Amino acid sequence: MAVKVAAAFIFMLFLLSTACQAKLSSAFYHKSCPKAESTIRTAIRTAIARERRMAASLIRLHFHDCFVQGCDASILLDETSSIQSEKTAGANNNSVRGYEVIDKAKSKVEKICPGVVSCADIIAVAARDASAYVSVGGPSWAVKLGRRDSTTASRTLANAELPAFFDRLDRLLSRFQKKGLTARDMVALSGWHQ
């Protein structure tokens, strides 16, 4: 019996330790793909050097991804018989830009480390790199990595959760608050709509 209890205890420790490994970390790809971040940065800088507005678009793409099911790249999924694409949700259709920039960064990263770096992480890094590149002395941050890509998307959730241009201020504030974002965050993110 004591052996069984000990075995169960060890198994629980194992579960806990794997749960810890699943935590995001800025060192997530240091061993598995050490050039991931520099490769993404080069791709993002190339795109913004070509069209400066792309910096704003990539930040907006990131937060429109995160508002729906979390930062899981669900926004990249196209419509299929089993997937309701978020691309055609009201707040995204014909206004979210930069899909091809993320695709390009992903294909560069796939060339050096096939099947290692998630699209969700690429989007998060791209938004940071875009901000850092266009705002001298402006905001940059360490991006914690290790997100998994979603295999599902939800236009219904996208339509329900993303801020709409006709929302009143109190509604906008509550939408951002639900995602843990302040009024100050909302103003900063709204500034990327250009």
Ligand X SMILES: *[C@@H]1O[C@H](CO)[C@@H](O)[C@H](O)[C@H]1NC(C)=O
Residues at the interface with ligand X (CB under 6 A): 88, 93-94
Query: What distance in Å separates the CA atoms of residue 120 and residue 147, rounded to the nearest whole number?
Result: 6
Q: Based on CB atoms, which residue is closest to ligand X, 93 or 151?
A: 93
161: annotated binding-site residue? no
- 118 is annotated as contributing to ligand binding: no
Shorter beta-carbon distance to ligand X: residue 122 or 162: 162
62 is an active site residue: no
Q: How many CB atoms lie within 10 A of CB 156?
A: 12
> 10 Å Cβ neighbour count for 170?
8
CB of 99 to ligand X, least distance (A): 14
Residue 23 DSSP symbol: S
The residue among 131, 194, 184, 155 whose CA lies nearest residue 67 is 155
Does the annotation list 72 as a binding residue?
A: yes
* 93: number of Cβ within 10 Å: 13
Nearer to ligand X, 44 or 91 (CB): 91
Q: What is the largest CA-CA distance in the chain?
A: 68
- Classify residue 143 by its DSSP letter: P
Catalytic residue among 60, 62, 64, 106: 64
DSSP-assigned letter for residue 145: B
Task: Determine the Cα–Cα distance for residues 11 and 7; give it in Å rounded to an integer.
Answer: 6
Q: Closest CB to ligand X among 48 and 68?
A: 68
What is the closest distance, in whole angstroms, from the C-beta atom of residue 41 to ligand X in the complex?
Answer: 32
Please indicate if the annotation marks 135 as binding a ligand: no
Known binding residue 65? Answer is yes
Beta carbon of residue 92, minimum distance to ligand X (angstroms, whole number)? 9
Q: Whole-number minimum distance, CB 88 to ligand X, in Å?
A: 4
Active site residues: 64
Residues at the binding site for heme b are 193
Residues at the binding site are 65, 68, 70, 72, 74, 86, 163, 193
